[in-house]
Structure 1
């Protein structure tokens, strides 16, 4: 960490301290967690709904930190010879440090958001850019107000680029993350129905996603899927710079029949049109052919965006047949589970992601079963969106569906799936496993997907037995 005490004085003025300090001295590793803090670190006590990092200040002092910040709401004691700053908001201060570090590093920053596919696209971009050198990317759920600055602070001048995932649960959140990161490239994977219960409409979701351009470098670029009229409209009101649009022949964004076209984009054409060979798992991009690292049309679009990012950064794209893709648990995982092939998508679910996973499931030889669960945060649209998704599953000709119900959709889902050879609606993952196992034969294919709260990953051990 090359940030010095002099840098922090420029941010917040002189520290509270009765001892002289060397202003050119580095502030040390920045830590928010006393469980991993070390002597000489700089401590930032964050405050959340159920915790207050200030409660651990004494532990940090005893370990031997060299400096810290504290909130102006903190009423505790600080040693008189200790160097610290008093700030209105420690989280905001943490983000300011991260932005300062980002500017000092002067590395390319790629920011990724979208309703579906953020994590997959982030990981594909990281893998495609890896020939440049070490790529610092978000880990796990580092896509929020704490995670994005934490990722930035991991970077060093020996690294090649940052790839940051940016999540959203309301207006203003992605704008804050954009302010922290100052991206060079922004990727918006899509605008779907996830969080529509919070934001009220896809139009509002598009507006919230377009906040990623708030602090995009003026010479930067936004990469989006071609044909999303709501996203085009939102961006036209917020961003005047370059937009690169990508498309795949035969790939529709209108999976649920809800892509509003009241903002028909006149005279706009895709910058890249790719073809995919799903039988042999290839994509054709900018005159070259590449092996798709992940299965499914939706993942081909995610990969196309990663290839476009590499092109924008001037990377010569070669030798991508053995990409190191490190997907988190419960996302894009094909697992040999006992005698069955399981598409493990247990991390979360939205209408678009469920449909994409169902369409991948039915490409597998053999019978097809799905364990699906309630999709949360869909608000007043919940019933109609569940109906559309379940009807699509039925139309695909699945051999069976067991649905884990968390709410009011219990009865109407029974009616939709009743004509399948095997069907059930249950309340718990264990009940789902019991029903499913009574139908299965060796060689069957199973999709497991539902909202995080349902914990559908607990079904996997039953299948392994």
Structure 2
């Protein structure tokens, strides 16, 4: 097999390669229909908008899309073949109308993942996988930044942490341009991490923590711990686990499924132990680093990164004292300085109780000339524990002496206001994002700092955008 070293960065077209179609057929256990098995696959595509001649097209399907609708276009655009589900192909109307070459499989996603696993094995690069209830994306970015001091890093894009995204990340590996691969793994239910671990076969597995995200689906923190530790249960025996040494539930559950090498980290102990000297400076084994993000939770994420470096046998001395800025997506630890010395802490990308509490601690720590505002919304998928967990977030805001509390109300989030008493200088709620913006424009004063935090589906990012635009406009 001859590899072409160039990378196509468009959304659907993955790493360029030269792969005998017969090999792809064998890997995916596909039934070839009108296929020249001597043909060469030049690339992998999941999107006809970026498909190029010689690509192998996968008709992937999800909750809101079905690639089978674009099979005819893929064939007419020059795909060497289309990988389709047998149920679709066996439908007479589809079969009679479709022209071209097909690889018929029981499940297109499974075939896609099998090809990704094979490609990952061919590339022979260290693969680091990260999961956890909170901090996955930030930890992924910190690990990637640290590894960049040792070589070229390929990482999951944005939130590509599901069945399709993990496989796509692996299929984008270019062994001539990458030295390390960092993969984020998300989870909404039991069995998902197990599949992803089998697909990626990571050399290093990082679990950041066990929290309450998706507890409405899984029922208990113990069930969440077991689901997260599926990553360890399916690790190759030569792999290393990097675990939060302060999370006792994680450590206990991990020992039930993993007896291989493990490295723990923490501020209170562990194989990699740090000392947070200021909110953004940490000391570890005689070295000091300026952290790219403030807060105890981000210090823990950094220690996870050092645990990965240690697991790979790399020398910490190569890591610069200032590791640089992280490439975080919008709504992740973004700080905006507005006119009149107003500061926005944008944490709107998503939210769990643990993430909300960590963000409130960060708000309490950051220097401010005025008042501290917590603008909060619903945390989704908490099930029967929703009321108590929302109330816990409100209690944390009270205990930290946050000055002002404003809630985007939808029933569940109202529990944040339970028992607030007279401890806040301003307390309010509203059921409309526009109303929320108006309240902030009327109540925020010079020097105030504002945290925005809620689950992504709440749309709190819109509030941030509209408030920022209106505040910066003198006519507000």
Output the TM-score relative to the length of structure 2: 0.89
Contact 1:193 1:378 in 2 (8 A): yes
Secondary structure of 2:48's counterpart equals: coil
2:357 aligns with one of 342, 355, 358: 355
Distance in 1 between residues matched to 2:209 and 2:349, nearest whole Å: 19
Shift of 1:27: 1.5
1:407-447 Cα shifts (integer Å, max 9, x gaps): 24537726425541111011122222222222221111110
Contact 2:264 2:307 in 1 (8 A): no
Does residue 1:192 correspond to 2:177, yes or no?
no
Shift of 1:11: 2.3
Number of the residue aligned with 1:261: none
Distance in 1 between residues matched to 2:412 and 2:24, nearest whole Å: 53
Secondary structure of 2:443's counterpart equals: coil
**Greater than 3 Å deviation, 4+ residue runs:** 12-15, 17-21, 78-83
Distance in 1 between residues matched to 2:416 and 2:308, nearest whole Å: 43
Shift of 1:85: 1.6
Contact 1:402 1:435 in 2 (8 A): no
Shift of 1:193: 0.9
Number of the residue aligned with 1:11: 27
Does residue 1:127 correspond to 2:145, yes or no?
yes
Counterpart mapping for 1:56-205 below 5 A: 56-74=70-88, 75=91, 76-77=94-95, 82-158=100-176, 159-205=178-224
> Cα 1:171–1:324, aligned 2, differ >3 Å: closer, same or farther?
same
Shift of 1:51: 2.5
Shift of 1:9: 3.4
Distance in 2 between residues matched to 1:128 and 1:7, nearest whole Å: 36
Contact 2:206 2:304 in 1 (8 A): yes
Distance in 2 between residues matched to 1:390 and 1:360, nearest whole Å: 15
Shift of 1:247: 1.2
Distance in 1 between residues matched to 2:421 and 2:377, nearest whole Å: 13
Shift of 1:398: 1.7
Shift of 1:79: 8.8
Shift of 1:12: 4.2
Distance in 1 between residues matched to 2:54 and 2:292, nearest whole Å: 43
Distance in 2 between residues matched to 1:234 and 1:129, nearest whole Å: 28
Distance in 1 between residues matched to 2:35 and 2:449, nearest whole Å: 68
Does residue 1:433 correspond to 2:445, yes or no?
no
Contact 2:386 2:412 in 1 (8 A): no
Shift of 1:26: 4.1
Number of the residue aligned with 1:255: none
Does residue 1:380 correspond to 2:384, yes or no?
yes
Distance in 1 between residues matched to 2:421 and 2:353, nearest whole Å: 17
Number of the residue aligned with 2:473: none
Number of the residue aligned with 1:462: 467
1:360-394 Cα shifts (integer Å, max 9, x gaps): 11222332111011111111111111111101101
Shift of 1:175: 0.4
Secondary structure of 1:155's counterpart equals: coil
> Cα 1:18–1:462, aligned 2, differ >3 Å: closer, same or farther?
closer
Contact 2:393 2:416 in 1 (8 A): no
Contact 1:31 1:43 in 2 (8 A): yes
Does residue 1:410 correspond to 2:414, yes or no?
yes
1:148-184 Cα shifts (integer Å, max 9, x gaps): 0001111111211110000000000000000110000
Secondary structure of 2:435's counterpart equals: helix
Q: Where does structure 2 lack aligned partners over 5 or more consecutive residues?
A: 1-16, 471-476
> Cα 1:80–1:197, aligned 2, differ >3 Å: closer, same or farther?
closer
Distance in 1 between residues matched to 2:18 and 2:321, nearest whole Å: 34
Q: Where does structure 1 lack aligned partners over 5 or more consecutive residues?
A: 250-268
Shift of 1:333: 0.8
Contact 1:295 1:360 in 2 (8 A): yes
Does residue 1:270 correspond to 2:274, yes or no?
no
Answer with 438-447 or 191-200: which moved more. 438-447
> Cα 1:6–1:417, aligned 2, differ >3 Å: closer, same or farther?
farther
Counterpart mapping for 1:220-239 below 5 A: 220-239=239-258
> Cα 1:323–1:314, aligned 2, differ >3 Å: closer, same or farther?
farther
Distance in 2 between residues matched to 1:80 and 1:381, nearest whole Å: 50
Number of the residue aligned with 1:264: none
How many residues align? The count is: 443
